[in-house]
Amino acid sequence: MELLNGFKNPFRSQYKRWVFLVGLVAISHLLFQSFLLPYGNALRSLLLPGIDGSIEGNYGNVVSRVRSGSKSVVVRNTLTINGSDFSTRDVILFTGGNGGGDVGISSRKIGDWVEKGVSKAIFDGNVDDDYASENGEDLNENAVLEEVIRDQDNYVNATSRIEQVAKHGREVSTGELRDVNTTSQYPALSSMANPTPNAGSSFRSTSLQSDHTVSKSNSLMVVKQGKKKMRCEMPPKTVTTIDEMNRILLRHRRSSRAMRPRRSSIRDQEIFAAKSRIENGPVITNDQDLYAPVFRNVSLFKRSYELMERILKVYVYKDGKKPIFHLPILKGLYASEGWFMKLMQGNKHFVVKDPRRAHLFYMPFSSRMLEYTLYVRNSHNRTNLRQFLKDYTETISAKYPYFNRTDGADHFLVACHDWAPYETRHHMEHCIKALCNADVTAGFKIGRDVSLPETYVRSARNPLRDLGGKPASQRHILAFYAGSMHGYLRPILLKHWKDKDADMRILGPMPPGVASKMNYIQHMKSTKYCICPKGYEVNSPRVVESIFYECVPVIISDNFVPPFFEVLDWGAFSIIVAEKDIPNLKDILTSIPQERYLALQLGVRKVQRHFLWHAKPERYDLFHMTLHSIWYNRVYQIKLR
Is the model more confident about 593 or about 65?
593
- Is the pLDDT score of 545 beyond 50? yes
Most confident among 39-43, 109-113, 252-256, 435-439 (mean pLDDT): 435-439
Model pLDDT for residues 63-91, shown as the tens digit of each residue = 333 333 333 333 344 333 233 333 333 33
Residue range 241-266: mean pLDDT, rounded:
80
What is the DSSP code (8-state) at residue 354?
-
Is the model more confident about 447 or about 286?
447
Confidence (pLDDT) at 50: 37
Confidence (pLDDT) at 256: 60
CA distances to 4, 296, 316, 404, 564 from 630, rounded to whole Å, are 101, 17, 14, 19, 10
Confidence (pLDDT) at 385: 96
What is the DSSP code (8-state) at residue 481?
E
CA distances to 100, 395, 503, 580 from 583, rounded to whole Å, are 51, 51, 15, 8
Residue range 11-18: mean pLDDT, rounded:
65
- pLDDT confidence tier of residue 535, bands split at 50, 70 and 90: very high
Please tell me the distance from the alpha carbon of residue 302 to that of residue 287, in angstroms, as a whole number.
9
Confidence (pLDDT) at 281: 84
Confidence (pLDDT) at 142: 54
Model pLDDT for residues 338-347, shown as the tens digit of each residue = 999 999 999 9
Confidence (pLDDT) at 33: 58
Rounded to two decimals, the pTM is: 0.70
Taken in order of first residue, the domains within the chain and their CATH numbers are: 242-458+623-637 (no CATH), 472-611 (3.40.50.2000)
Q: Residues 285, 318: contact at Cβ < 8 Å?
A: no
CA distances to 145, 147, 322, 610 from 118, rounded to whole Å, are 9, 9, 10, 30
Q: Residues 517, 131: contact at Cβ < 8 Å?
A: yes
The mean pLDDT value of the chain amounts to: 75
Model pLDDT for residues 148-188, shown as the tens digit of each residue = 444 333 333 333 433 343 333 333 332 332 333 333 332 22
Confidence (pLDDT) at 9: 55
Q: Among residues 634, 619, 614, 544, which one has the least CA distance to residue 340?
A: 614
Model pLDDT for residues 212-232, shown as the tens digit of each residue = 333 333 333 333 445 567 777
Instruction: Encode 133-152: b = buried (16+ Cβ within 10 Å), e = exposed.
Output: bbbeebebbeebbebbbbbb
Residue range 104-131: mean pLDDT, rounded:
37
Residue range 446-474: mean pLDDT, rounded:
96
Three-point CA angle 144, 146, 150, nearest 5° = 155
- Is the pLDDT score of 111 beyond 50? no
Confidence (pLDDT) at 146: 54
